[in-house]
Amino acid sequence: MGETGPRYIVLLGPPGVGKGTQAERLTERLSLPHVASGDLFRQNLKAETALGLQAKTYMDRGALVPDDITIAMVVDRLAQPDCAAGALLDGFPRTVAQAQALEDALAQQGHALETVLYIDAPADVLLARLGGRWTCRQCGAVYHLLFSPPRVAGRCDECGGELYQRADDTPETHRRRIAVYQEQTAPLVDWYKTRDLLTEIDGTLDIDGMTAALVATVEA
Ligand code: AMP
């Protein structure tokens, strides 16, 4: 833990709050791999693996993929060599069962979570952000038409890949995903508070302001 052992940090917050954007910036800063469960599912979907096809039915309607599938996938990812120094987890855990499984898996290795960065914002802010979101088909980088547009319309700044709107980026699915978050993921706030692991970050800040607040926390 801390300065010497691997660093495991969780980004927690509702869909659309900016976890993915901030995770990209933080992983660079901390030299930790970005482990995003949603990205892992999308990679599996692209590769048409059994796992990807199983996850698709849940993802398309904004529901959570069952815990057993999700936990196995993320624990497997954390066992890869590039996670030896730790990881920045984004989008996982999303249920108390996942949080417990993560705690157990780390404890088995003699490790523990360092901190949970909890970013929150009101639903109207989340819906506005989810509305203009475009994702790179190639590298997964995320853009927003208003808040962080690409330099060239429809093309990724990082790799030149084509930008597309995710299948789960529709107004109806956005509202459903926020409701699912309130119901199944929000209880993690108290769960981590009890463990004295939670740091709250204001999700209404602009992109740079939020990065500054997050960096101040993890580098404190
Ligand atoms: P995200 O990219 O984090 O917004 O995730 C996209 C979708 O993948 C979610 O709406 C879920 O269907 C699924 N998903 C991602 N992470 C998890 C998780 N930890 N537990 C269950 N489902 C997940």
Answer yes or no: are the C-beta atoms of 135 and 20 closer than 8 Å: no
Distance 92 CA to ligand 1 centre (A): 8
* Residue 83 CB burial class (10 angstroms; 0-12, 13-18, ≥19): middle
Pocket of ligand 1 contains residue 185 by CB under 6 Å: no
Please report, for the chain, the start and end positions of each structural domain, with discontinuous segments joined by +: 7-121+186-215
pTM: 0.90
Q: Is-catalytic flag, 77?
A: no
Class of domain 7-121+186-215: alpha beta
8 Å CB contact between 145 and 37: no
The atom number, within ligand 1, closest to the CA of 59 reads 12
171 residue type, one letter: P
Q: Which one of 19, 42, 56, 77 is the catalytic residue?
A: 19
Convert the pLDDT of each residue in 143-169 to its tens digit.
998 889 999 999 999 999 999 998 888
Question: Chunked in runs of 10, what are the mean pLDDT values of the chain (220 residues)?
Answer: 78 94 92 95 94 94 95 97 96 98 97 97 93 90 90 96 90 93 97 98 95 93
pLDDT of residue 196: 98
SS3 content of the chain, % helix, strand, coil (to 5): 50, 15, 35
Atom of ligand 1 nearest to the CA of 94: 19
